[in-house]
Amino acid sequence: MEQSIIQLDFADEMKNSYRDYAVSVIISRALPDVRDGLKPVQRRILYAMTELGLSPEKPHRKSARIVGDTMGKYHPHGDSSIYDALVHMTEEYSLTLPLVDGHGNFGSIDGDSAAAMRYTEARLSAGAMTLLNNLEKGLVPFGPNFDESEKEPLVLPATLPNLLVNGTTGIAVGMVTNIPPHNLGEVVDGVIAYLKNPEITTKGLMKYIKGPDFPTGAMITNADDILSIYETGEGKLTLRAKTEIEESDYGRKNIVITEIPYTVAGNKSKLLENLVSLAKDKVFDEIYDVRDESSKEGIRLIVEVKKDRNIENLLNGLYKKTAMEDTYSVNMLAVKDKQPITFTLKHLIQEFVSFQEELYTKEYKHLLAKANDRLEIVDGLIKATDVIDLIIEILRGSDSIKQAKGCLIDGKTDGINFKSKKSEKEAATLCFTERQAEAILTMPLSRLIGLELLKLHQEGEQLRSNIAEYINVLSDKKELHKIIITRLREYKKKFGRERLTVLDNLAKEKYVEEIKEEELYVLIDRFGYAKTIDSASYSRLAEETLADYTHIISLKNTDRLCVFTEEGNMYQIKAMNIPKGRSRDKGVLIQSLCKSDRETIILYISAEALFESQLFFATRKGFVKQVAGISFDTNRSVIASTKLDEDDKIAGITPLNVVEAINPDAKVVLITKKGLSLGFPLYEASELKKTSRGVKGITLEDDDTVRYAAVAMPDCEELIFEQKKYDPQKIRNRKRAAKGQKAKIKK
């Protein structure tokens, strides 16, 4: 057998294949159709349920059966994705109008997952029928399924703007849709307003559709941005939980969360866990207790606040650090004519109305054809009753139904035995239609009763009246719109509810941390491991224990630890970020706290002490200067402490208090690597900005550098140069050596 090899460019093949895949995901899986607001999997589930006869008045059926039918006939993409879509359509906290009525454990707003499909049951909800009614009338196009063994609707005959009412979310290739749910009554009013005035503006529509209305309620705090979102189809909404303040025991107060943001729907337990962890970790010292008192009556999350604390400030903090306030990104993307398009509010309503005009036109054409067909039969039966004796004579004289039918339709009398020539002559004048002839031949004798004849005449009159009405609706678009409006108002009356989501404009208030001030001690050992202990614990430590720490810095828990390195950087670490520990705890590497893995630390000082000090800097190349400590006051976690040449480093930094800095007898002492020394008055080292290099303090030979630098006071009798530096490379080398030693001992 000969094989043909096709030469293809790899890049072109990848591009074409990926494009085909992307289009398939966009059109056939992830994005909703603008007409019925459904993704393909949702549409197929609802159609499969219709085929199974699972209407709202019928018993529930196992979800596994529904999923099996959907997967086997229409959606061959895995049972888990189909079941997830089915579960989503039952969620009252996700949809304004759930499309599936679930029986059993379908999950909860807390985040509990649904039971396996073999344990749950489902049927269509009353709301789903607004999308499925008249499906049998041929109002929407059908197409072959994946293996062309079945037919499926390409769109459902939705007579309710499902895309706006229930919203949707989906992620496709390179695009995402996120349409928020709206209040059904408001959307109906908006559609009616558009039908009455197609020139209505977005602002005019917003008199009816005020904004999204989430099933979970809560608040939208940037209501002024909604107009822009509706006009562009894109934007962001800020959602905030609804809260109440209640009195509690012992003078405490409770923050009661009664409604949560829509973004937390199906994840309420995570919000609760977040609140508990913030209280446990003392992020919010004001919180006394957190508990969940939710029930069937509604959500009730309790945050109990300590006595005499600022509740409004705490609320601001909770909005900032928890999902009690969240952002919902709106992107009104949907598919129209197999193209993904970002729609505005008005365009969505336009598309819905256009689809309704098409549906109702087809429906009334269907009704008109059906009424005409029935009228034809009714007229035939009425006409037949007038000559019933002749028809009986024809039937009795005919050899076959075909012969009798030919006489009724075309007046053919050949071969039929008549009682008289008169009857034969009258029979030759008969001209019933084929449909009428069929109805006459199958007409029961009970039709000849007087009352039945009266009913036929009444039915004929009613049919003529209906036909006139149908023709009027089809010939006048205003009449068609009246029919659409009537049905929409019926839906509003049946499914409408009050708005749940409050629309407001609220500024974001800043949270001021309420921290109880206390004295701490930062203990740093020779390997650079740091921890903090409170003053009470510090006072109980023995001198032998304190001797193990090369640096002990006193500071408040509201303060920061400032770390200066040889490389000319200053790092700031919040005292509360340094873990608390006991005397036997190892602590955390200081390098990991300030993220300076390759730098050698030469000075630790609290920010409070730093700002009240004067710093003397000396570099290895002999540059010196003084810098006011207050110039290092910054919120940044790392800054350059001085300017250095490319091959220069800081040899020493000496913090001086106010008295020491202005002492005229204070001397600078510099000692070089070769053992040379130089002393000069401190005041000769000029006070400069931290961004300056400094002035020349000592002239060095080419291969010499300043090794030590210090400031000596007049009462100083002995100056010991011992720079307590933490060199990470040396520590790493020591650890490697220790590991090697342990390996030798094991061998």
The token duo for 284 is 């919010």
Mean pLDDT on 384-391? 83
Residue 522 makes CB contacts below 8 A (sequence gap 6+) with 530, 531, 532, 551, 552, 553, 554, 555, 561, 575, 578, 604
Percent of the chain scoring above 70 in pLDDT: 93
Cβ(106)–Cβ(91) below 8 Å: yes
Taking the C-alpha atoms of residue 500 and residue 514, their distance in angstroms, rounded to an integer, is: 34
Q: How far apart are CA 531 and CA 537, in angstroms?
A: 12
Q: Which run of H or of E encompasses 189?
A: helix 184-196
Closest CA to 440 of 502, 398, 468: 398
Above 90 in pLDDT, residue 552?
yes
Closest CA to 68 of 49, 40, 53, 90: 49
In angstroms, the CA 662 to CA 621 distance is 26
Whether the per-residue pLDDT at 32 is higher than 90: the answer is yes
Strand partners for 668: 680, 711
Q: How far apart are CA 422 and CA 405, in angstroms?
A: 20
Q: Mean pLDDT, to the nearest integer, of 20-29?
A: 70
- Distance (Å, rounded) from C-alpha 139 to C-alpha 367? 11
Name the pLDDT band for 384 (thresholds 50, 70, 90). Answer: confident
The one-letter amino acid code at 215 reads: P
Average pLDDT (458-467) is 92
Lowest mean pLDDT among 52-61, 228-237, 628-637, 726-735: 726-735
pLDDT of residue 729: 52
426: tokens are 């009258």
**CA pair distance 237, 219, nearest whole angstrom:** 10
Q: Rounded CA gap, 660 and 679, in Å?
A: 16
Look at residue 397 in the predicted model and tell me its pLDDT: 86
- Selection from 175, 171, 179, 168 nearest residue 233 by Cα: 179
**pLDDT range class, residue 702, cuts 50, 70, 90:** confident
**157 in Cβ contact with 484 (< 8 Å):** no
Q: SS3 of 89, please?
A: coil
The secondary structure of residue 683, as a DSSP letter, is G
Residue 441 pLDDT level (bands cut at 50, 70, 90)? confident
Specify the pLDDT at position 515: 65
Q: What is the DSSP letter of 726?
A: B
Cβ pair 670, 682 in contact under 8 A: no
User: 446-480 in b/e burial notation, b at 16+ Cβ within 10 A?
Assistant: ebeeeeeeeebeebbeebeebbebbeebbeeeeeb
Task: Report H helices in 599-689.
Answer: 607-611, 658-662
Query: What is the b/e burial string over 619-653, where b = at least 16 CB atoms within 10 angstroms of the residue's CB?
Result: bbbbbbbbbbbeebeeeeeeeebbbbeeebbbbbb
DSSP 566: T
Residues in contact with 451: Cβ distance below 8 Å, sequence separation at least 6, in sequence order: none
Helix (H) or strand (E) holding 491: helix 477-495
Pairing of strands 219-220, 502-503: parallel
Rounded to 5, what percent of the chain is helix, strand, coil? 40, 20, 35
Q: 484-505 as b/e, with b when 16 or more CB fall inside 10 Å?
A: beebbeebbeebbeeeebbbee
**Confidence class of residue 281 from pLDDT cuts 50, 70 and 90?**
confident
- Which of 45-59, 321-335, 404-418, 644-658 has the least mean pLDDT? 404-418
Q: Residue 2 has what pLDDT? A: 60
How much is the CA Rg of the chain, to the nearest whole Å?
43
What's the residue count for the chain?
Answer: 747
Burial 173-203 (b: 16+ CB within 10 A, else e): eebebbbbbbbbbbbbbbbbbbbeeeebebe
Q: 217 and 501 in contact (C-beta within 8 Å)?
A: yes
**Residue 741's pLDDT is what?**
44
- Burial (0-12, 13-18, 19+ Cβ within 10 Å), 244: exposed
Residues 378, 459: contact at Cβ < 8 Å?
yes
Confidence check: pLDDT of 730 > 60: no
CA-nearest of 605, 695, 606 to 642 is: 695
Q: Identify whether the C-beta of residue 364 lies closer than 8 Å to the C-beta of residue 473.
A: yes
Confidence of residue 661 (pLDDT cuts 50, 70, 90): confident
CA distances from 404 to 265, 393, 429, 441 (A): 71, 10, 14, 9
Name the residue type at position 353.
Answer: V
Q: Phi first, then psi: give them for residue 171, nearest 5 degrees.
A: -120, 120
Catalytic position from the list 83, 119, 262, 726? 119
**The residue type at 541:** L
Render pLDDT for 126-164 as a digit per residue (tens, 0 to 9): 999 999 999 988 899 999 998 999 999 999 999 999 999
Phi and psi torsions of 135, nearest 5°:
-60, -30
| Residue 549 annotated in active site | no
Contact 336, 34 (CB under 8 A): yes
Within 10 A of 153 (CB to CB), how many other CB atoms are there? 20
Residue 596 has pLDDT above 80, yes or no: no
Query: Looking at residues 346-350, what average pLDDT do you find?
Result: 96
What confidence score (pLDDT) does residue 222 get?
Answer: 94
**pLDDT confidence of residue 390:** 85
Which spans in 505-578 are helix H? 535-539, 543-546
pLDDT at 732: 52
Q: Domains for the chain: give ranges and CATH numbers.
A: 39-157 (3.90.199.10), 242-323 (3.30.1360.40), 353-494 (1.10.268.10), 519-731 (2.120.10.90)
Cut 0.85: pTM above it: no
CA distance 264 to 237: 14
Beta carbons within 8 Å of 296's beta carbon, 6+ residues apart = none
**Amino acid making up residue 150:** E
Per-residue confidence (pLDDT) for residue 450, from 0 to 100:
62
Neighbours of 744 (CB within 10 A): 7
Tell me what pLDDT residue 29 has.
75
What's the pLDDT band for 724 if we cut at 50, 70, 90? very low
DSSP label at residue 445: G
Tokens 């009104």 belong to residue? 332
Confidence grade of residue 723 (pLDDT, cut at 50, 70, 90): very low
In the chain, what is the greatest distance between 2 CA atoms, to the nearest angstrom?
156
pLDDT of the residue at 404: 86
Over residues 226-255, the pLDDT tens digits come to 999 999 999 999 999 999 999 988 889 999
- Mean predicted lDDT score pLDDT of the chain: 88
Specify the higher pLDDT residue, 201 or 77: 201
Q: Worst-scoring range by mean pLDDT, 245-249, 435-439, 639-643?
A: 435-439
- CA-CA distance, 398 to 497, in Å (whole number)? 67
Cα distances from 567 to residues 526, 590, 601, 619, 636, in angstroms, run 20, 16, 9, 10, 18
